[in-house]
């Protein structure tokens, strides 16, 4: 049996799902706080979802639907933070952010994770700590750690 399957079998599946779902709350709360610092108030709605992925095959999670209010150009914009899964190649989980004009992936990457050390993926050298990163698309792009400034850019990008 290969090492990956041994790791999955020994993994605390329920614990990983609980961690991932708690991290979704952290990301949602960070988005709301950072958007607040940018002058917006945010209405957040929760929608239960089932994820079909991982060693348990399916598990429950929550999608967050965010509506922005304020005097800026993002007033009235709607966003969705959709959980994609706790088991994702190269990360400890992925969230997909949907806006009116696009979607982007946000992953939890580890500083010493598989992708950060891969010789054919030098962009992941930008993963400087275990955290959530916007996995920017494009040949010359590199992951950007979530912050107020990153979220401002990300929301503009998808909206």
DSSP 90-126: TBS-EEEEE-SS-EEEEEEE-TTSTGGG-TT-GGGGG
Q: Helix %, strand %, coil % for the chain, to 5?
A: 35, 30, 35
Q: Give the model's pLDDT for residue 50.
A: 97
Structure tokens at 152: 């401002």
Q: Please tell me whether the overall predicted TM-score, pTM, comes out greater than 0.75 for this model.
A: yes
Measured distance CA(64)–CA(14) in Å, rounded:
21
Structural domain spans, the chain? 3-158
How many Å from the N-terminal Cα to the C-terminal Cα in the chain? 46
Q: Give the model's pLDDT for residue 124.
A: 56
Q: Give the model's pLDDT for residue 54.
A: 83
Among residues 40, 127, 35, which one has the least CA distance to residue 136?
A: 127
- The residues, any chain, with a CB within 8 Å of residue 95's CB and separated by 6 or more, are 24, 27, 81, 82, 83, 84, 105, 106, 107, 132
Per residue of the chain (159 residues), give pLDDT as tens.
344 444 555 578 989 999 999 999 999 999 999 999 999 999 999 999 999 988 888 999 999 999 999 988 889 999 999 999 998 877 889 999 999 999 999 999 888 765 544 444 435 567 888 999 998 766 567 788 999 999 999 999 999
């Amino acid at each position: 049996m290969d090492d990956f399957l041994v790791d999955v079998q020994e993994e605390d599946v329920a614990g990983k799902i609980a961690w991932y779902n708690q991290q979704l709350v952290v990301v949602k709360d960070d988005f709301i706080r950072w958007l607040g610092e940018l002058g917006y108030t945010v209405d957040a709605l929760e929608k239960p979802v089932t994820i079909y992925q991982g060693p348990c095959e399916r598990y429950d999670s929550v999608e967050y639907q965010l509506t922005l209010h304020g005097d800026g150009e993002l007033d009235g914009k709607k966003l969705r933070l959709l959980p994609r899964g706790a088991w994702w190649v190269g990360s400890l989980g992925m969230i997909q952010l949907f806006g009116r004009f696009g979607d982007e992936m946000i992953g939890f990457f580890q500083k010493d994770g598989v992708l950060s050390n891969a010789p054919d993926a030098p962009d992941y050298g930008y993963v400087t700590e275990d955290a959530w990163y916007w996995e920017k698309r494009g040949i010359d792009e590199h992951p950007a750690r979530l912050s107020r400034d990153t979220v401002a850019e990300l929301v503009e990008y998808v909206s």
